[in-house]
A and B are shown apart, each in its own frame.
Chain A
């Protein structure tokens, strides 16, 4: 798993890669919680996520809840087929704002 963090147009962008699962959830959670700690919107790039399990989703949920309490937002974009299948199956598309690409996420 190789994750990247950047800042674009005043928003923190985190790219998650590989298996976002129990084995890597400590790293993922740290990245996401750090991402929402700056008082800025957090955009999460899921284009290179090959596997997403409930531990990884829980980290996204926690970051989203913290962002909401801070008055900011967590948005997902470019979800891989594997990640999108999980979101649709569990109807998490009703929980997260999922955008087709970075531009759409930035513009929302």
Chain B
């Protein structure tokens, strides 16, 4: 085999020269967007270089079966995969050649065979085979060429598979980003300065299993809700979207929060899967009188902060939604009387600094007190900003909703 150092070969000569075949394959790969063209050129170059009738590239599928990825010559795709040489090449990862015996079998269609394994990092991807040398037997140099070509093809195929996997990942990533955007749009965007109810949501991942909602039902009443779906990620986000839709729709029909939760629970139970459930506090606030009614389905106890800075919590009296279809709930009526009402997910109270104790309800109350003089929206932002210091870690989605009855007197 002669070694050529001059790369300016005429095309036909380059692809019949062993090194030229590999160089042409590299060049083709560099400018091609897919593998089809470079693989065809490689197989054609090999056929010319070894002067054989057929060349085929066979890959192993996930189920272990071989399939033809590309072929050249009228019978290229028909190279006998059941031949002992072929099987040995695949099993042992060795170059197998019958160049000692051109008439190796009595089969009239196949009188010679040369196989090289496609191997990368110990993984056998398949076999590159040429068959039926026209004159004489395959030579050791031709075995070397096929082994080198198989190595280059294995690398190219592996890269192609990685590119495909990355493309799929990018597709999933784009879908997630779109889902996150749609989810953010499910949350209300009220003017913080013009509304006595404010909420914040910070997902632990791209999408959230928490939601909050509120909207003016009429000139006085504002239905509100905050919920936490079990689990995290896309399955939680999908159930969150359903629960949010149910609340937005049914809160216009049910005046009593207990009836509202019972209706959402029945609907959720009909389609809940894998044991998923929703904890939710839902209610209605009359900003003219300061009266507030709410019901709690298995959620963290909301907090009432009175104007004298005393606190009262309201533990749940019923389990979460989506588990038992025939649940009843209890409505609590309270007077805010210039006070504030806070609903939050356990992502907030379980926020922790390193291995230290979680923030807890006491920690949350301290944070509220340290920013109590700020307007409501700024207060919530300041509260979350306190948790943004290095070392603090969120284990869960984090959501808080606050109702400020003092807002009414400040804006009258």
Contacts and interface: CB of A to CB of B under 8 A. Distances in A.
Q: How large is the interface on B (under 10, 10 to 19, 20 to 34, 35 or more residues)?
A: 20 to 34
A65 B316 contact: no
B316 A55 contact: no
Interface in A69-108: 89-92, 94-95
A56 B298 CA distance: 15
A58 B318 contact: no
Contacts of B301: 89
Contact of A58 (B275, B298, B319, B396): B275
B404 interface: no
A22 B274 CA distance: 13
B276 interface: yes
A59 B319 contact: no
A78 to B, nearest CB: 21
A44 interface: no
B318 A94 contact: yes
Contacts of A64: 275
Contacts, number: 60
Interface string B270-302: 000011110100000000000000000011110
Interface stretch (B110-118, B215-223, B224-232): B224-232
Given A91-B318, A92-B319, A95-B324, A58 B277 contact: yes
Nearest to B315: A89
Nearest to A54: B230
A91 B316 contact: yes
B231 A55 contact: yes
Contacts of B315: 89
B186 interface: no
A64 B274 CA distance: 11
B299 to A, nearest CB: 8
A13 interface: no
A94 B319 contact: yes
B230 A58 contact: yes
A31 interface: no
B275 A63 contact: yes
Contacts of A59: 275
Given A62-B275, A90-B279, A22 B316 contact: no
B274 A58 contact: yes
A91 B317 contact: yes
Given A63-B275, A90-B298, A95 B230 contact: no
Interface string B181-218: 00000000000000000000000000000000000000
A22 B318 contact: no
B300 A89 contact: yes
15 contacts: A25-B231, A54-B228, A54-B277, A54-B279, A55-B230, A58-B275, A62-B274, A62-B275, A65-B275, A89-B301, A89-B316, A90-B279, A90-B298, A90-B319, A92-B298
Given A53-B395, A92-B298, 15 more contacts: A22-B231, A22-B232, A25-B231, A57-B275, A58-B277, A64-B275, A89-B301, A89-B315, A90-B298, A90-B320, A91-B298, A91-B316, A91-B318, A92-B320, A94-B318
- Pairs A-B, 6 closest by C-beta atoms: A62-B275, A61-B275, A54-B230, A58-B275, A90-B298, A58-B230
